[in-house]
Structure 1
């Protein structure tokens, strides 16, 4: 594709890539010399719990922007994605899911990297969770550079900016204090010292700050006055100043975050500037909602985990869900999975016929970095689900019998992606469709029409048995012959009486794969009340 194509693409990753390019141009005009420093894309992670769908969303979306930037600049500007773990945060509460949680009670408020690993596999709780994060990201093949906040603080990587924060203490307080309530203002400090006696992260006021000496003075938990250097991991910053300091220290050029950060973003930017940095291009995305429209929360358990999604659908469909309208609040619950899977393959199928401009706007470019696979399944996921339903299939081998009727040359070994999709369909049906099936008895009009349809299906010539279009036309005609004013009501009746659900795939295609004789038998069983 040409650079002009990328420069005019309306896809949001290209829009953000162009914003970064504009930022670099502004820096250049200001006389800022970047030297060989790469463009830095950053994501942050709180390791108090396991990585989740939000973690995946930030990394996959940021990767999409990074890929768009590389394409836009023809790879002439180096880039890197860094994932920072806030593992120096104090452990506020013991997760109930860890082994022997009572044993961790004495470590509350200590940095997560100082808390013993209850799983016994790593040097600390923070290290264990960091390893889980890296395994999670590696499993998706993300290219990133991992950074531990503990290492950054204790190695001296942050020292220069911590000393500068000490010099600019009053300026930072002037930014922070107006954002706080009266009670908190009285004791607030951007510096959180680590108690030399208890090892806990302390939220205490400063008795004095000495920029020349590079120290802070405060009262320890036992009331003893303590003076500590702000360098070498003796302190950390409160999370809002830490956010801005991290941007300055790591030279971050792009970061996205959820809407819950939006009000604080100007604070991060101002602190970054106070510390001598340039605030990055920022992209705010909406948070996911559950089926009832409530914000998804890990503590509530009202969302879908990445593992949940991947049990029922390919990873590419999850990437598509993350790509679509990130600035619009979207409901994330299990019912969206089949629709998203079919949308992914529809986009993949359309790619073959698209010109450069359309491809640069397609989610497929961003899911596959411009190099998508060619495979598109011959049947939709929705259709596979209905085949499972009609055949009451307990494993994907049963499905393959129907798939091969429609596509005789297809087989599991040569079509692993389709085989995987069949497995997903069985799993999704068993867990979500089957338990909610609700067959109903037909009305007199519907019974007469279904009886007629079964008779016509039994008489379909073998040569026309797999002609989905001809079968669809016949089904339409039956509805017309039985005076359905709205043919949608006719198809809805077929689904509700014969499949136990209110909607389904194009029924002619279903019949072509399931078989006219088998569909006629399904209808007879439904009319006889044998399916409920």
Structure 2
């Protein structure tokens, strides 16, 4: 069982925010309740995941302290469908649904979900289960259409003039010189990060200010304008772009919602939220979080503690937007990263620090860093912060049992890049993979591949789905006769040393390649050739010899060309071990 992180240093951001969350809740004489808001308007990308992981890590820290904390996720599925994203199974016919609630838009072709919102929500729900995130999900469609908010909607309409005056102060600020220009990078980043709610109209119009937006009962969209409202009878009249006009009783109307800058603070009060982070787009001057400070008291509540979180990017890709196709989601990331590693990436950076998730060729480095942390925590010099970081990543406090639950991790760890190289070379053949990986650590017998899972499965998926075709390793079927014939005496001697040795046994010299067919033995052989050719011992440690370094690189390039027809490839010792001694000899034998 992982050690609970109660002893993390005071400058640890999770500990600090947990302390602040408790202080805020106690000051307001209410339990700690943390919240996230997710709009399933398209693929819910890794930037949106920070909306969930920041409050989750704070809640988990407090649960480990023995506190009762509820984490709610509001599924903003009653939001309007703003634009058609470029995702699989969707075409231009979805344009007709713009302006409808997300739960009344058809799911993409081929999906068995009942609607658009459910399709994209379900993918994240599966990922959150894998990540160990415990929460209570709240559908805003269900809340509005059930009438749960009717009293608060009526209250907002009764206080519309007061709300309008508050918003006018911020509208003036938005029109001021301090607002970012429309085409600035700051504005573009904010636009890309948001689901769109932050950009919603605030309810103002030519006929007056009304914070309620009905969905048209004829065409189903929110291209509607409230033209009149009577406080005594609650009669509300609206017109729609489609030409429909209607008068409804607001006290009975459940086919509409408050505008975002009023809806959000209303829900803070309804749910009694005390902690909810939000992105840059919601915290700029005049935005919903800033406005909420003054609107929340109208509903009898205070704006919760709300740290701002920065962007999460993908290495080698532009800023993510859920309205654009091909954006990495948590489910996609978990195809290549074990859940504790993805949790760790979100836990090791302060919320206001941006970071990248590497799913490209840098992904193995993430595993290397995680393995280094694991070794450090297992040693005697681990700092409290290291112990806390790994514990938060690798385990969660299960409220059902009151105990710390470990998340699945690979029992026997091998470097991710090694696993990926072997899978690449063997094209995923289990028998060959086991043969090669078993030879890597001959003193620790590997009877099967299960101890290497799920890391091996993640590496396999990464090789098959993320590795560019030009970087795949394809071992030659036949020797490169032309290249072998062109070699000079020095290169031929190097190849003979590799295969047949120097006549002097290891470690000073080189034996036959097959004599020590282990990763260590092959490494000694490959790196020893250039040394022996310079009159040095094969195991001699040489530092700063540029000529030796150049000779080794030239020999490595020659081997790569003979084996895989390229100047580079997987680590040579691993490659040779994978190819096998007989085939290596057939491909690099210099001949007479």
When the two structures are superposed, what TM-score results if normalisation uses the length of structure 2? Answer: 0.71
Summarize the Cα distance change of 1:404–1:317 in structure 2 as closer, same or farther, 3 Å threshold.
same
Confirm or deny: 8 A CA contact 1:449 1:479 kept in the other structure: no
Deviations 1:95-152 (A, max 9, x none): 6768696876655423233446676856554455555554454454432111111221
Is 1:383 matched with 2:418?
yes
Mean CA deviation greater in 380-389 or 486-495: 486-495
Confirm or deny: 8 A CA contact 2:36 2:72 kept in the other structure: yes
Matches within 5 A, 1:256-267: 256-263=277-284, 264=287, 265-267=289-291
Count of residue correspondences: 510
Deviations 1:185-206 (A, max 9, x none): 54464321233444332442x4
Confirm or deny: 8 A CA contact 1:395 1:426 kept in the other structure: no
Summarize the Cα distance change of 1:93–1:70 in structure 2 as closer, same or farther, 3 Å threshold.
same
Confirm or deny: 8 A CA contact 2:57 2:392 kept in the other structure: no
How many Å separate the matches in 2 of 1:175 and 1:436? 58
Paired position in structure 1 for 2:440: 406
**Which of the two has greater helix per residue?**
1
Confirm or deny: 8 A CA contact 2:44 2:322 kept in the other structure: no
Summarize the Cα distance change of 1:446–1:175 in structure 2 as closer, same or farther, 3 Å threshold.
farther
Paired position in structure 2 for 1:312: 336
Confirm or deny: 8 A CA contact 2:50 2:309 kept in the other structure: no
Q: CA deviation at 1:380?
A: 0.6
Matches within 5 A, 1:347-386: 347-353=373-379, 355=382, 357-369=384-396, 372=406, 377-386=412-421
Summarize the Cα distance change of 1:210–1:268 in structure 2 as closer, same or farther, 3 Å threshold.
same
How many Å separate the matches in 2 of 1:97 and 1:186? 34
Give structure 2 stretches of 5+ with no counterpart.
177-200, 397-403, 475-479, 535-543, 561-565
Q: CA deviation at 1:165?
A: 1.8
Query: Of 248, 253, 265, which aligns to 1:244?
Result: 265
Confirm or deny: 8 A CA contact 2:32 2:273 kept in the other structure: yes
Mean CA deviation greater in 230-239 or 116-125: 116-125
How many Å separate the matches in 2 of 1:49 and 1:18? 35
Summarize the Cα distance change of 1:276–1:380 in structure 2 as closer, same or farther, 3 Å threshold.
same
How many Å separate the matches in 2 of 1:176 and 1:84? 24
Secondary structure (helix, strand or coil) at the match of 1:377 reads: coil
Summarize the Cα distance change of 1:292–1:418 in structure 2 as closer, same or farther, 3 Å threshold.
closer
How many Å separate the matches in 2 of 1:2 and 1:364? 6
Summarize the Cα distance change of 1:115–1:477 in structure 2 as closer, same or farther, 3 Å threshold.
closer
Confirm or deny: 8 A CA contact 1:291 1:332 kept in the other structure: yes
Matches within 5 A, 1:262-341: 262-263=283-284, 264=287, 265-292=289-316, 294-301=318-325, 303-325=327-349, 326=351, 327-330=353-356, 332-341=358-367
Paired position in structure 1 for 2:74: 84
How many Å separate the matches in 1 of 2:459 and 2:111? 38
How many Å separate the matches in 1 of 2:551 and 2:405? 43
Paired position in structure 1 for 2:185: none
Summarize the Cα distance change of 1:449–1:348 in structure 2 as closer, same or farther, 3 Å threshold.
farther
Secondary structure (helix, strand or coil) at the match of 1:84 reads: strand
How many Å separate the matches in 2 of 1:522 and 1:469? 15
Secondary structure (helix, strand or coil) at the match of 1:282 reads: coil
Paired position in structure 2 for 1:485: 546
Secondary structure (helix, strand or coil) at the match of 1:254 reads: coil
Deviations 1:410-458 (A, max 9, x none): 4465x62504433433443344155325999999999589645554696
Confirm or deny: 8 A CA contact 1:91 1:109 kept in the other structure: yes
Give structure 1 stretches of 5+ with no counterpart.
none
How many Å separate the matches in 2 of 1:446 and 1:24? 76
Summarize the Cα distance change of 1:134–1:33 in structure 2 as closer, same or farther, 3 Å threshold.
same
Paired position in structure 2 for 1:47: 40
Confirm or deny: 8 A CA contact 1:291 1:333 kept in the other structure: yes
Confirm or deny: 8 A CA contact 2:5 2:388 kept in the other structure: no
Q: CA deviation at 1:361?
A: 3.9
Alpha-carbon RMSD across the aligned residues, in angstroms, is 4.4
Greater Rg over alpha carbons, structure:
2
How many Å separate the matches in 1 of 2:405 and 2:452? 20
Mean CA deviation greater in 190-199 or 453-462: 453-462
Paired position in structure 1 for 2:167: 176
How many Å separate the matches in 1 of 2:527 and 2:233? 86
Q: CA deviation at 1:236?
A: 0.6
Q: CA deviation at 1:58?
A: 3.2
Summarize the Cα distance change of 1:238–1:520 in structure 2 as closer, same or farther, 3 Å threshold.
farther
Mean CA deviation greater in 11-20 or 80-89: 11-20
Confirm or deny: 8 A CA contact 2:277 2:306 kept in the other structure: yes
When the two structures are superposed, what TM-score results if normalisation uses the length of structure 1? Answer: 0.78
Paired position in structure 1 for 2:144: 153
Mean CA deviation greater in 194-203 or 81-90: 194-203
Summarize the Cα distance change of 1:382–1:298 in structure 2 as closer, same or farther, 3 Å threshold.
same
Summarize the Cα distance change of 1:56–1:396 in structure 2 as closer, same or farther, 3 Å threshold.
farther
Deviations 1:149-188 (A, max 9, x none): 1221233332333233223312322333443679995446
Confirm or deny: 8 A CA contact 1:288 1:332 kept in the other structure: no
How many Å separate the matches in 2 of 1:449 and 1:171? 89
Paired position in structure 2 for 1:167: 158
Deviations 1:277-296 (A, max 9, x none): 12222232222334455212
